[in-house]
Chain A
């Protein structure tokens, strides 16, 4: 009987993988539903004896079975998109059935947890420190140091919280871990629990990921005995982007409004319900089981660039020909990712801009494509890696529109706690609308003689408005409590800086306004 493997990842299913699987079953094949290889432009991808066919539709079934399909891509493992990767976190991607304990164990599952239990908490933290693992959620804080803080804190109860509120557009690696390899994440959490002395873990999962919620719940039930005494529970969010910020997430988990907390106290000391809490991103925790295997920390550390060690699961998204998940060591250049690996735009038009790091990440111009993936290099270039989502835009993109959207998004998702974000974002939308209109003349009311406090001049031209925007962005950047208000200026200012022609007919106004910000 022909063995057919088709992913049951949400993206493959959205592309019709379920019907496809049923069609192969109707032809008498044995169908295995596996995780996704991450070659998303080929989903639904059909695998028979290691060979791939995609994107497959129902009409391709017969041709695939008799070997005449023009959708054949050859051996999947030898495909350049797969062969070029260094997969640690996604080592099982495409190869195992997500909810099969048998598959998980056969591919080295639970080895990290077993070893962690033998070597004890201090040694676990040491190994994580040695691996150089830094928080994959965006901030890049060394995971080992965070764990050590929680380990040394004294409390009757400690918590491990997994931040699975992956709200950034252009990112889907967390979703793929939870849907494709849920046991790995749970193992990572159990190891974290072992390291810091916590027996309870929560996965805060966004409501927009129904498949991931279902699989995580099922996986936790299946492996409850293995991770015991550690107990794990999924908590579903309610559609608030800001809950991806760790303190806001903790409030939400406690059943409060997802408002950001001022730090200190750090969550490591006073987190969930005021107890010491490790809050880590899905990718950070999913990297841990590999690191804790014999020699894993050294292997992880050997890959990377500068102070950014290990691999980063990079997500190629937006208008890109070969979109999907590409896990590789730090140090790869953005140009390589977009043009060589990603194959340029899907529309075939020239690349205009690339946004790295989700809605709060800077827009990067193709002139800067030699920039390498590394936390420090990106910071120097006024950009951020964030969760390593790479969203490509072709030359039809309107950068003023994208800058306006960044402000609009911030206004819609602001938690409302701090003024620069809550009000600044609304003002930002208004200013951008006025820039588009070429400035704003004084209205009749303002010009009335009895309005003593209004200026009676000609009003503001686009240049003045750009000055105001620059000033507003400064205020938001340095005055906001968390990254939502603090980083929204990145996409706005980078769009303004690199594509001034999209904002005004006199691009020199932009240069002038940016060099001398408004008083």
Chain B
């Protein structure tokens, strides 16, 4: 048995008793393995007695699940209306330039910090009131 199937078995066992266990399982798989790939989909399908198509349909629906793990650090930048009103579009180029190939810049729609944008998230850390300099530093330190 590979490590992966052990990890998956453990995650499935952790949530199997829940009503509607699939999302909690997928959230944990994404968090622990960095992605939900085809192999994981097959194992989860088997564990929950679902078809692979069912599981793949769910995995491909949600933005949070990735098909491949990306080892790069991620900076999520909010580009929804409130952050646009506070000028995120003017500084986004600074972020992408500072990121280059090393850091992944993702767009999110709303971190709930709407009066103090532009806002960004790295891991579970949140950042507010970013300007060109602030976002550059954030990306460089990521």
| Residues in A lying within 8 Å of B, measured CB to CB | 10-11, 13-15, 40-41, 43, 166-172, 175, 200, 207-211, 233, 235-241, 252-259, 272-273, 315-320, 323-324, 346, 355, 358-359, 389, 391-394, 397, 402, 405, 409, 412-413, 415
* Interface-side segment among B1-9, B67-75, B92-100, B119-127: B119-127
Known: A14-B127, A238-B62, A239-B62. A167 touches B81 (CB 8 A): no
Assembly CA distance A320 to B85 (angstroms) = 9
Selected from A253, A320, A358, the residue in CB contact (under 8 A) with B115 is A320
Q: Which residues of B contact A235 (CB under 8 A)?
A: 20, 23-24
Output the least CB separation between B60 and chain A (Å).
8
Q: Which residues of B contact A355 (CB under 8 A)?
A: 81
- The answer to whether A397 and B85 have CB atoms under 8 Å apart is yes
Known: A169-B80, A235-B24. A323 touches B115 (CB 8 A): yes
- The answer to whether B110 and A11 have CB atoms under 8 Å apart is no
Output the least CB separation between B132 and chain A (Å).
15
Assembly CA distance A210 to B109 (angstroms) = 15
Selected from B20, B64, B80, B109, the residue in CB contact (under 8 A) with A255 is B20
- The answer to whether B115 and A316 have CB atoms under 8 Å apart is yes
- The answer to whether A317 and B63 have CB atoms under 8 Å apart is no
Selected from A10, A389, A391, A397, the residue in CB contact (under 8 A) with B113 is A10
Q: Is B108 an interface residue (CB 8 A)?
A: yes
Q: Which residues of B contact A358 (CB under 8 A)?
A: 81
- The answer to whether A14 and B112 have CB atoms under 8 Å apart is no
Please, what's the 1-or-0 string for B117-140, where 1 marks a CB less than 8 Å from any CB in chain A?
101010011111100000000000
Q: Which residues of A contact B57 (CB under 8 A)?
A: 257
Assembly CA distance A169 to B108 (angstroms) = 10
Known: A14-B119, A14-B126, A208-B111. A319 touches B86 (CB 8 A): yes
- The answer to whether B62 and A317 have CB atoms under 8 Å apart is no
Q: Which residues of B contact A255 (CB under 8 A)?
A: 20-23, 58
| Chain A interface main SS type | mixed
- The answer to whether B84 and A14 have CB atoms under 8 Å apart is no
Residue of A nearest to B57 (CB): A257
Q: Which of B19, B26, B85, B86 has the most CB of A within 10 A?
A: B85
Assembly CA distance A392 to B61 (angstroms) = 32
Selected from A254, A324, A359, the residue in CB contact (under 8 A) with B20 is A254
- The answer to whether B119 and A209 have CB atoms under 8 Å apart is no
Q: Which residues of A contact B62 (CB under 8 A)?
A: 237-240, 258
Assembly CA distance A48 to B125 (angstroms) = 27
- The answer to whether B119 and A167 have CB atoms under 8 Å apart is no
Selected from B19, B64, B128, the residue in CB contact (under 8 A) with A207 is B64
Q: Which residues of B contact A397 (CB under 8 A)?
A: 84-85
- The answer to whether A169 and B63 have CB atoms under 8 Å apart is no
Q: Is B83 an interface residue (CB 8 A)?
A: yes
Residue of A nearest to B121 (CB): A208
Please, what's the 1-or-0 string for B18-57, where 1 marks a CB less than 8 Å from any CB in chain A?
1111111011001000000000000000000000000001
- The answer to whether A236 and B84 have CB atoms under 8 Å apart is no
Q: Which residues of A contact B24 (CB under 8 A)?
A: 235-236
- The answer to whether A273 and B85 have CB atoms under 8 Å apart is no
Known: A238-B63, A239-B62. A318 touches B128 (CB 8 A): no
- The answer to whether A241 and B109 have CB atoms under 8 Å apart is yes
| Residues in B lying within 8 Å of A, measured CB to CB | 18-24, 26-27, 30, 57-58, 61-65, 78, 80-86, 108-117, 119, 121, 124-129
Output the least CB separation between A344 and chain B (Å).
13
Selected from A10, A167, A169, A346, the residue in CB contact (under 8 A) with B83 is A169
Q: Which residues of B contact A254 (CB under 8 A)?
A: 19-20
Assembly CA distance A169 to B124 (angstroms) = 19
Output the least CB separation between B61 and chain A (Å).
4
Assembly CA distance A255 to B23 (angstroms) = 5
- The answer to whether B114 and A318 have CB atoms under 8 Å apart is yes
- The answer to whether B21 and A402 have CB atoms under 8 Å apart is no
Q: Which residues of B contact A409 (CB under 8 A)?
A: 80, 109
- The answer to whether A11 and B64 have CB atoms under 8 Å apart is no
Q: Which residues of A contact B117 (CB under 8 A)?
A: 318
Selected from B82, B114, B116, the residue in CB contact (under 8 A) with A41 is B116
Output the least CB separation between B109 and chain A (Å).
6
Output the least CB separation between B23 and chain A (Å).
5
Assembly CA distance A29 to B18 (angstroms) = 45
- The answer to whether A236 and B61 have CB atoms under 8 Å apart is no
Assembly CA distance A233 to B57 (angstroms) = 25
> Nearest 6 CB-CB pairs, A to B?
A323-B115, A255-B22, A169-B80, A317-B114, A318-B85, A238-B62
Residue of A nearest to B18 (CB): A233
Output the least CB separation between A416 and chain B (Å).
8
Residue of B nearest to A342 (CB): B115
Q: Which residues of A contact B121 (CB under 8 A)?
A: 208
- The answer to whether A11 and B128 have CB atoms under 8 Å apart is yes
Output the least CB separation between B22 and chain A (Å).
3
Residue of B nearest to A204 (CB): B23
Known: A236-B27, A239-B64, A397-B85. A273 touches B19 (CB 8 A): yes
Known: A168-B110, A169-B80, A170-B81. A318 touches B86 (CB 8 A): yes
Output the least CB separation between B111 and chain A (Å).
5
Q: Which residues of A contact B109 (CB under 8 A)?
A: 167, 169, 241, 359, 409, 412-413
- The answer to whether A253 and B20 have CB atoms under 8 Å apart is yes
Output the least CB separation between B140 and chain A (Å).
18
Q: Which residues of B contact A392 (CB under 8 A)?
A: 85
- The answer to whether B65 and A170 have CB atoms under 8 Å apart is no
Q: Which residues of A contact B81 (CB under 8 A)?
A: 169-170, 318, 355, 358-359, 391, 402, 405
Assembly CA distance A175 to B126 (angstroms) = 14
- The answer to whether B114 and A389 have CB atoms under 8 Å apart is yes
Known: A13-B126, A258-B62, A359-B80. A323 touches B23 (CB 8 A): no
